[in-house]
Amino acid sequence: MTDKTYAITGVSNGIGKELSKLLKLKGHRVLGFDIAKPTQDVDQFIALDLSRPSSIVDACAQVSDGLDGICNSAGLPPRDGLEEQILAVNYFGTRQFTNELQAKLKDGASVVNMASRAGHGWPNGIEQVKRLSKMSGTSNVQKFIAEEEITPVRAYDLSKEAIILWTMASSENYLNRGMRINSISPGAVNTQILDDFQAAFGDRMTKNVERAGRSGTADEIAQLAMFLLSPESGWIKGTDISIDGGMSAFATSDRLELSDLL
């Protein structure tokens, strides 16, 4: 994996920041997108507000053809009063950004979407995700939030469920051009927004971290994202990969009472 060009959102902090560092160390070219300008070196910084469709169009217009991959790392945590912005950034904006850039991807390119363990409830949320995906315009989204009683936590969970399902739904279309799309679902990660998740999920998150032994690091998630961007992961297509220190395994074992197998 040498001398390639990648578009990374959320490069000013957290996982996106670590991923851009790793790619640069490997000699790749990084186009960094964020609201705030990053402190680390990127080859080109393009200001982007994923909550504004016009900002997405303007940002993507500054990108030349020949992208080897995209990592959609930018996202908002579950904060009170941000329901609309969470859905806009984490799902609608991410989807629009990727679709705008799809024509600029090389054949064989890879797209990596940052989902979350919080999106693993998608089997029970499929119908709501379908209703969400049909929304267009701010007023419709506001109405959706009111009618379906969407809390900040539900907005976050729903946005990540939507990312996982959209990734699955898109995979065959990407294959037609020899490209791939996958998603990553981290558990608790020690970034600047970890406190937001602690406040939102409370004891449940605390217990998960205790069972896993620690929270994850941004570098650990970025390493997986870099692998999924690389040709070495070429047979991984249309899937969601958990990286959570065992948290998903614990939850599944508890639900299915798998301790009986020990």
Cα distance between the two ends of the chain: 42
pLDDT higher than 90, residue 170: yes
Residue 135 confidence class, pLDDT cut points 50, 70, 90: confident
pLDDT of residue 8: 98
The Cα–Cα gap between 153 and 172 comes to: 31
Predicted structure pTM score: 0.96
Lookup: tokens for 242: 């958990």
User: Which domains, ranges and CATH numbers included, belong to the chain?
Assistant: 5-252 (3.40.50.720)
Residue 120 confidence class, pLDDT cut points 50, 70, 90: very high
pLDDT higher than 80, residue 138: no
pLDDT of residue 2: 60
pLDDT of residue 216: 97
What's the whole-number mean pLDDT along residues 224-234? 97
pLDDT higher than 90, residue 99: yes
pLDDT of residue 140: 87
Q: Is the dihedral of CA 16, 19, 25, 29 positive or negative?
A: negative
Least confident of 6-10, 51-55, 193-197: 193-197
pLDDT of residue 41: 87
The Cα–Cα gap between 29 and 26 comes to: 9
Residue 77 confidence class, pLDDT cut points 50, 70, 90: very high
pLDDT of residue 137: 63
pLDDT of residue 92: 97
Q: What is the separation of C-alpha 203 from the centre of its chain, rounded to a whole number of angstroms? A: 24
Q: What is the CA radius of gyration of the chain?
A: 18
pLDDT higher than 80, residue 1: no
Q: Do the beta carbons of residue 217 and residue 190 sit within 8 Å?
A: yes
What's the whole-number mean pLDDT along residues 127-139? 86
pLDDT of residue 204: 87
- Quickly count helices (H) and strands (E) in the chain: 11, 7
pLDDT higher than 90, residue 57: yes
